[in-house]
Amino acid sequence: MELWEQWLSARWSYLVAGQEIDATWQVPHPSTAGFTRTDLAEGHGQLVDWELAVTDGSRIHVHEFADGRLVVHRDAINPSRGPLEAMMHWFSESALGKAVFVTGSVALIGVAVALVGGGGKRKNGAKR
Ligand SMILES: [Zn+2]
């Protein structure tokens, strides 16, 4: 765990900024360092996912690939904390969640425009 702590603290600002960092051969295998296996992960071609909860509510997430590569990133919201967190994680961080969110925003703008337009019509109606 000590090596991981050093590795993570040296790269923490990059991880917080959302970067993915290759940790292959730099740290011991996650299974020996307190990480737990998880299925709460978007598929990026990885074989296994490892997670480590962080006290700020985030998690360190390691993708282990078939060739042994370990790629690390930080999830600002740890989806393992509960169903609400899992949903927020999915919306804020997965590619599909982002697409849904963008589509939702466009739909909301459409509704707002319709409401403004509708309000104008109602005002005209009241003048009659
Ligand atoms: Zn992740």
What is the reported pLDDT for 12?
A: 95
Q: Which domain holds residue 105?
A: 94-128
Ion ligand 1: residues, CB within 5 A, are: 61, 75
Q: How far is the CA of 126 from the centre of ligand 1 (A)?
A: 54
Establish if 88 belongs to a structural domain.
Answer: no
Whether residue 70 is found in the same domain as residue 9: yes
pLDDT one-digit tens code per residue, 8-17: 999 999 999 9
H helix or E strand, kind and range, residue 96: helix 95-127
Q: How far is the CA of 41 from the centre of ligand 1 (A)?
A: 6
Q: How far is the CA of 106 from the centre of ligand 1 (A)?
A: 26
- The larger pLDDT score, comparing residue 108 to residue 53, is at 53
| Token representation of residue 13 | 């600002």
Q: What's this model's pTM, rounded to 2 decimal places?
A: 0.71
Q: Which residues pair with 71 in a beta bridge?
A: 22, 63
Domains of the chain: total? 2
Whether residue 105 is found in the same domain as residue 56: no
Establish if 86 belongs to a structural domain.
Answer: no
Establish if 64 belongs to a structural domain.
Answer: yes
Q: How far is the CA of 114 from the centre of ligand 1 (A)?
A: 38
Whether residue 71 is found in the same domain as residue 119: no
**Burial track 23-42 (b if 16+ CB lie within 10 A, e otherwise):** beeebeebeebebeebebbe
Q: Which residues pair with 37 in a beta bridge?
A: 50
